[in-house]
Structure 1
């Protein structure tokens, strides 16, 4: 039996399209719209594609928005829930002409990525795609942005437009639109197309755009070049052109016909089967078309023998090879752009070696050692693309914002803050810098009003008696919320706009109606998006096969608590708990490879950076699960032996670039963004403030909506680092967000902590990472900000 490893499924709701792009490979008219029956058959068939990793579903065409919002309101939940528990990520590739507010709302709810096609400025674009195309698409891009939807762009370069590549690049740079690069190839219906981009011109284009790109990495992203550069060090292709694509990428046309990708739609000779027949992976693999692809992969190995780039090129795209061969299938024919790709990969390899041995990079390696994340690829523009990790277009703007926040915190006015930034060499246009700092200042005067997490403590019963438990849960506790109340409050939280609803305890699996709870959660999973349903568990509970299945279907994410290695975990949670948890965790991962898992650890700073943290990190890597590490708090059982105040730490935050990118500006510790709901329905701001004095109301009796809209909850918005006497003079306050109220020395919500030097140190590390990313030397910072609270720039480590 063949097992498919499909990671990308393209659905073509219709092949019709109102645009008339000169070089389009597809039919424009005469196509039906995908029926509900075909959608349902697609969901059933997609379950046969395996459950390994995330499945990307892209709605393509034709023009995929022609069926309208009603189609997507049916398709998105049907596919997401029908393919569960495998995670699904949606995208749409469209000219956007039919993008309505209703579609934007649906796409926002289901976190759909939007892509469009645009070939540069209006004159260039419309010469290739038809008069009026540019105006209609740009208008819809603006509409998408109004709904906080980002849009990526495919830019097709033709024989005519390649000579104006500089204008095209400048257009996307000015518009703040990232793009991918496509070359116009002959369509099968027009083999002598005047639009076709010759291979030598394509090679020149790739190298020209690489040079422009490397000089503007902080302002734009070209995904094609990112993937091609990264593939050199990864040793495998990063986009479909450079992979053995059959089976990895599949398409379904409006009538349910399955083809190797969307380019083959409408060509009966390249059909693999039909979703209405629900063909198995074995059926697809034995189809004549599949065998054609396998033969090509075998023959191209011979054709490309000796090429140093074979591992990450794989002979290129089969469709491109067919298109330049007059529609005749030749299994030995390489992609016609082979010479262009080889030139590009040769240049990248040579430049990468030069950057590795540059003085700047060697100095960084000598100072840091061979970093376990980046190895020898530490300093150099091209090296930032080759090594992966955060992109400069994400890192540098956030780094500038971080430095500006500190400058603003220590200044009496926005003008003074800009003067400091100018001394740091970060100002090129003073009027623009002042406008940006004033905008940041206004945002810091506006407390956050979004909702993040609703924590539903469904019971305080627990199979363990952990030494650090803030709820003091244990086997003797009996409090439990009824299943009907749990489900009602979870749904209400989603409708109110909470990003995540966390089912926690105690141990949720100790709930007296556990099976009914899990069954109800499974039915609740199609919550209004972007809300996600999470289940927190110690996973040291006996798991039956039936319980494993119920867990897999009950939540979008399962968060498992562990505390380092076996010794540290058992010391806190009881002998044998680590072994049970680990066996159950591996069982859960084996049963559902695509299940979203997270490991949540409570470790002090020494543990997080020692063997305990390494053990958590290693397990997360083994299971493909992100890790979140938080410090112990002086709450519940831990209050008897309160730990020292330490900054939050996380093994996800490793490296200057990562830290610079992830550093956020905080006005508050999180007050008014989360809610803690006890088993009896009592609501509190957080677990640090869950005493009677801070009760916000009762969600079971009043309804959660009344609590969240109430005066006590909304009054928390006024408690910020600028209103708290202890914080408002601190230059680090916007990088810190204030101390966790668990550390307050007094009963008042504004009582200061005994000592927050550790939090200051963490904020300083964030500033150091930002300055390093921006290339600001220590002495320049000291000269510009010598009135700032002093710290030793040279001894603070990003990992502190």
Structure 2
């Protein structure tokens, strides 16, 4: 078995999820708990530092998921998490770490919520259903304390998912448990109570394989008609496993080495279930072991042998490819800690039952009349035969119906908020319209949304460093008017200095752009300097934006692939569309360099950036970019609108909303994720030209908008702490002279100020009404109607509840019918 490989001297790791167990202690006393809960020391920050050193030895662009587990992980306290998350985020930034936490939430307080919100920590908890079901097996008062933690998290904008454990006592109440989670708006995963390697006395709580199989099949049948109301992650994974032919979670796959756990003292275990059991230790993070070293541990060899031999024992099973014998812990727990009797998970019968049930139902849906008509009507190589049907939706992957429904509800919530005087009023009207049902829960969500959309943004996002405006191309849409005749460069030493300042100030990204940064006269020195900065300036992520439309050799492409955390390459559609804008032959040169870059070793994430009008982004040119990305194994493609700037200043095209995925059809935007916005991000980003002069953005640059110079006294810090820069963040759709009266303002976020850019000699008014925004308003209105359709609420009921559906923007309406603004405001609801 391959434990590790080397690329240019860098170790590559197979670890995808790392579980950190800060404490084996737990204040609860769950009757069926098979995991660690008996106390012991709490993890020290020195162990976090050792984890960082250990993981830093493994280089690569693959993401790392870090889960804090227990025992009860919150026993470690706020000070531990404030320091630990900061260190892990900063020092493992190249792994693009995502954090999660599994806790009973009893110890969650506002300080911890603030820390978890800052670092984007996903919260999971254990909840076995309503109080009368949960407390008899987890202890009196457990339900109320955990629900209090859930509500606290929700009030602070943190979403919570649940693990629901079914025991021999609670499995008969499965339907009641399902209804509880749907009513509370809580997604969950299904776990079965199982025997323990530690505590033999809990065996009476365990589900039999037969009862477990019955539970899974029954829950799936209840789940499928309710996909828009709730999400059950474990059932989603089972369905996708069948369609993909391989398991999607640790239980159903060759898990060894992919889900390692680190205990409080730094001991490494195969997974969290073994934490605290010395006989299952693989090593110690303080020794910084390689995977080759871990592979010499007796436990590793035993598990590896089991993994190798499972195909022999389960070779006659049609589910082998997506089951792989189940969980090794379950096998050991059921067989006295040994693989000598069997290698199979004792719940093999349950898994086989549900996999067979999924397969049978899937075949019914695939050969249904509705699905076959869809297959015949349109060729879709990606979806194949999986087009129509509830189960087919889960097997196909992509947006989940529950997520789409949530996006639709949020769309309606922000319109109600924009038109109401309070979250309470908005919740009352939404309930009257039939959009929400849990008034108390939705008021809390509305208050959180209101805070997010009305509080001035304080974080810093992108520092755009235009290191040169020279460029071998002369693109017709270039906002910088870059070209071969442009002179001036930002010195490499200044770039390094500014990046170091940026991380101290809290910027998230330093974007090296141009012009074409690869024609910088000190290109090699620039790339070498950036490569050295990558680790030094974490958690700041460095990004190189390039056309790659140059003749460069493999050595330079190799430098590019290791120079920054991300390389963003511009590809504007198919060959014809791209070359019409960037010059004949530029497409082929860019794509040839891209193909070589993707074949060469590289640690940077490579993504594509595409500038197209919305109708072309959704049509052939946009699809050509998506196809190219898929062919090359590029996971992310960003579409951006054309702007009336630079060489495109006199072009005629519609305004584009600031909302995410605004180039997509509205139903796709709802499915893939719509996020309400109040601003374009002004006051969070900084635009820097080659001479060091700094401006609010590419639309607002010129003498009147100069914020300072990076090379002046005080440097970057003086600029971003100035009153002029800080004032920018308060200019949102809520302060805009026109947008503030529009109930659809959070659906578009206003128009890019490129459309409102006055002559450079004029002092700007950042709150000036946009030019005719009818197209923006029409799109936002269409999005609102699509959201109503998705949740099954008629336009008539929406309006009867006192909620708005304006036909045109306030000021546009005034101009057309000659009314005064006050009349328009009254008619539009405020």
Aligned twin of 2:245: 235
How many Å apart are 1:713 and its aligned residue? 6.1
Aligned twin of 2:698: 687
Structure 1 residues 50 and 340, CA gap change in structure 2 (3 angstroms): farther
**1:759 and 1:693 mapped to 2: Cα distance?**
28
| Bigger shift: residues 162-171 or 739-748 | 739-748
Aligned twin of 2:752: 740
Match of 1:162 among 159, 171, 180: 171
Match of 1:310 among 299, 320, 323: 320
Aligned twin of 2:526: 514
**1:180 and 1:327 mapped to 2: Cα distance?**
27
**1:688 and 1:755 mapped to 2: Cα distance?**
18
**1:314 and 1:680 mapped to 2: Cα distance?**
60
**2:443 and 2:288 mapped to 1: Cα distance?**
58
How many Å apart are 1:628 and its aligned residue? 1.2
**2:668 and 2:598 mapped to 1: Cα distance?**
31
Match of 1:22 among 10, 31, 36: 31
Matches within 5 A, 1:372-771: 374-402=383-411, 426=434, 446=454, 449=457, 453-467=461-475, 468-481=477-490, 500-509=509-518, 510=520, 514=526, 518=530, 521-522=533-534, 525-527=537-539, 532-540=541-549, 555-565=564-574, 568-569=577-578, 572-573=581-582, 577-578=586-587, 581-582=590-591, 584-586=593-595, 588-589=597-598, 595-605=604-614, 607-609=616-618, 612-621=621-630, 622-639=632-649, 642=651, 644-645=653-654, 647=656, 653=664, 656-672=667-683, 674-680=685-691, 682-695=693-706, 710=723, 714=727, 717=730, 720=733, 723-724=736-737, 734-744=746-756, 747=759, 759=776, 762-763=779-780, 766-767=783-784, 769-770=786-787
Aligned twin of 1:108: 117
Structure 1 residues 199 and 594, CA gap change in structure 2 (3 angstroms): farther
CA contact (8 A) 1:272 1:289 kept: yes
Secondary structure of the corresponding residue to residue 597 of structure 1: strand
How many Å apart are 1:556 and its aligned residue? 4.2
Structure 1 residues 317 and 100, CA gap change in structure 2 (3 angstroms): same
How many Å apart are 1:224 and its aligned residue? 0.9
Aligned twin of 2:350: 340
Structure 1 residues 295 and 707, CA gap change in structure 2 (3 angstroms): closer
Asked if 1:2 is matched to 2:10, the reply is: no
Aligned twin of 2:234: 224
Aligned twin of 1:797: none
Structure 1 residues 535 and 786, CA gap change in structure 2 (3 angstroms): closer
**2:166 and 2:691 mapped to 1: Cα distance?**
63
Secondary structure of the corresponding residue to residue 248 of structure 1: coil
Secondary structure of the corresponding residue to residue 619 of structure 1: helix
Structure 1 residues 349 and 778, CA gap change in structure 2 (3 angstroms): farther
Secondary structure of the corresponding residue to residue 204 of structure 2: coil
Secondary structure of the corresponding residue to residue 308 of structure 1: coil
**2:415 and 2:741 mapped to 1: Cα distance?**
12
CA contact (8 A) 1:461 1:511 kept: no
Structure 1 residues 548 and 98, CA gap change in structure 2 (3 angstroms): farther
Aligned twin of 2:825: none
Q: Could you report, residue by residue, the CA deviation over 1:199-243 in whole angstroms, capped at 9, with x for unpaired residues? A: 222223223333443354334322111211222222221111111
CA contact (8 A) 1:627 1:652 kept: no
Aligned twin of 1:795: none
Matches within 5 A, 1:40-439: 40-47=49-56, 51=60, 53-73=62-82, 75-80=84-89, 83=92, 85-99=94-108, 101-191=110-200, 193-285=203-295, 287-330=297-340, 332-356=342-366, 369-371=378-380, 374-402=383-411, 426=434
Q: Could you report, residue by residue, the CA deviation over 1:600-625 in whole angstroms, capped at 9, with x for unpaired residues? A: 12234565355543342233222333
How many Å apart are 1:627 and its aligned residue? 0.7
CA contact (8 A) 1:457 1:506 kept: no
CA contact (8 A) 1:93 1:116 kept: yes
How many Å apart are 1:181 and its aligned residue? 1.6
Q: Could you report, residue by residue, the CA deviation over 1:743-766 in whole angstroms, capped at 9, with x for unpaired residues? A: 349657678888766646654664
CA contact (8 A) 2:93 2:538 kept: no
Structure 1 residues 360 and 101, CA gap change in structure 2 (3 angstroms): same
**1:500 and 1:50 mapped to 2: Cα distance?**
20
CA contact (8 A) 2:503 2:538 kept: no
What is the alpha-carbon root mean square deviation over aligned residues?
A: 4.7
**2:141 and 2:282 mapped to 1: Cα distance?**
38
**1:541 and 1:235 mapped to 2: Cα distance?**
42
**2:422 and 2:272 mapped to 1: Cα distance?**
56
Secondary structure of the corresponding residue to residue 560 of structure 1: strand
CA contact (8 A) 1:656 1:772 kept: no
CA contact (8 A) 2:269 2:280 kept: yes
Structure 1 residues 755 and 74, CA gap change in structure 2 (3 angstroms): closer
Secondary structure of the corresponding residue to residue 173 of structure 1: helix
**2:117 and 2:521 mapped to 1: Cα distance?**
34
**1:173 and 1:235 mapped to 2: Cα distance?**
30
Secondary structure of the corresponding residue to residue 689 of structure 1: coil
Secondary structure of the corresponding residue to residue 73 of structure 2: coil
**2:444 and 2:155 mapped to 1: Cα distance?**
20
Q: Could you report, residue by residue, the CA deviation over 1:421-469 in whole angstroms, capped at 9, with x for unpaired residues? A: 999x855869899979997997899486455643433433434343232
**1:69 and 1:511 mapped to 2: Cα distance?**
49
Structure 1 residues 224 and 676, CA gap change in structure 2 (3 angstroms): same
Structure 1 residues 48 and 542, CA gap change in structure 2 (3 angstroms): farther
Q: Could you report, residue by residue, the CA deviation over 1:472-503 in whole angstroms, capped at 9, with x for unpaired residues? A: 23455444456676567667766776654534
Q: Tell me the TM-score normalized by structure 2.
A: 0.79
CA contact (8 A) 2:463 2:510 kept: yes
CA contact (8 A) 1:708 1:714 kept: no
Secondary structure of the corresponding residue to residue 634 of structure 1: coil
**2:742 and 2:127 mapped to 1: Cα distance?**
48
CA contact (8 A) 1:617 1:651 kept: no
Aligned twin of 1:798: none
**1:362 and 1:355 mapped to 2: Cα distance?**
9
Secondary structure of the corresponding residue to residue 220 of structure 1: coil
Secondary structure of the corresponding residue to residue 116 of structure 1: strand
How many Å apart are 1:636 and its aligned residue? 1.5
How many Å apart are 1:39 and its aligned residue? 4.3
Secondary structure of the corresponding residue to residue 245 of structure 1: coil
CA contact (8 A) 2:310 2:343 kept: yes
**1:672 and 1:290 mapped to 2: Cα distance?**
52
Number of residue-to-residue matches in the alignment:
783
CA contact (8 A) 1:2 1:281 kept: no
Secondary structure of the corresponding residue to residue 230 of structure 1: helix
CA contact (8 A) 1:604 1:631 kept: yes
Q: Could you report, residue by residue, the CA deviation over 1:582-614 in whole angstroms, capped at 9, with x for unpaired residues? A: 455455545666633321122345653555433
